[in-house]
Amino acid sequence: MTDRAAPLNLYKTIRRTIDALQGEFQVIVMEHADLDEEPFRSAVQARWRRSNGDALVPHDWITDEIDEDVTS
């Protein structure tokens, strides 16, 4: 199974389940994949990207700088 096929199959399963439950169930998925195929594409409500200023955590909420060179 390809890297794209696995999440696509998962989203198809989620869609079938939601459809079968006729709106009685809500699923919220946060995923870094950005697939062009259905049902993924039509289900996306937001694309949070720091590059377009629409991040999940707005930049102005961040008060401390992170030293990205530090390793644990």
How far apart (Å, rounded) are the C-alpha atoms in residues 69 and 9? 37
Residues in the chain: 72
**Does 38 or 64 have the greater pLDDT score?**
38
Per-residue model confidence (pLDDT) at position 26: 86
How far apart (Å, rounded) are the C-alpha atoms in residues 56 and 71? 24
User: pLDDT-derived band of residue 62, with 50, 70 and 90 as boundaries?
Assistant: confident
State pLDDT tens for residues 11-48: 899 989 999 999 798 888 877 778 888 888 888 888 87
Number of domains within the chain? 1
Contact, 17 vs 25, CB < 8 A? yes
- Specify if 15 maps to a domain: yes
Identify the domain containing residue 9 by its residue range: 1-44
- Specify if 28 maps to a domain: yes
Whether 5 shows a pLDDT value over 90: the answer reads no
Per-residue model confidence (pLDDT) at position 16: 92
Q: What is the largest CA-CA distance in the chain?
A: 49
- Specify if 39 maps to a domain: yes
- Specify if 58 maps to a domain: no
- Specify if 18 maps to a domain: yes
Q: pTM for the complete prediction? A: 0.56
